Amino acid sequence: MIKYDIIRLDNKNIKFIPRGMTNMKFSQELDKVISKIKERIEKEIPDTGYFRNFAEDLANKDDNLFAKSVSLAVERDENVDGNALLLVSVLHPAINIDASSMLACGKRGQLLEYMNKEGFKDEVVKRIHELADSFL
């Protein structure tokens, strides 16, 4: 027997998604966010000097994750010129608080190298689940 989650209900159309498909959507959306952050790191972070902090957000539709949204952000390191911090944060689903964790710190090339390594996405997902579990 297949269990279904109703994702949209209107007068003419009822759409169903089998359980477990939301995880695939979350994974695909996370891939998009990671690629956007990589592009922005390449374009917006100079070797030295000032740059603006930026982030890419992802609305959570995964029932297994206790979070309203997930965000990957890049912030300037105030102590070292040209360094940036790569952060992941999770927003609580009911109240306006978040939990965040630093993934990496370094220059533009170091961040891109870190993001291109093989287990990067798995590490991000693990951190996201750890942060979301901290709300429970």
| The pLDDT of residue 26 | 87
Cα gap 53→105, rounded to integer Å: 14
**Per-chain mean pLDDT for the chain:** 85
Dump pLDDT digits (tens) for 62-78.
888 889 999 999 999 99
What are the structure tokens assigned to 31, written together?
A: 């891939």
Instruction: Spell out the domain ranges in the chain.
Output: 20-133
Q: Would you say residue 49 has pLDDT above 60?
A: yes
Instruction: Using alpha carbons, select from 58, 85, 90 the residue that is nearest to residue 74.
Output: 85
Q: Mean of the pLDDT values across residues 75-99?
A: 93
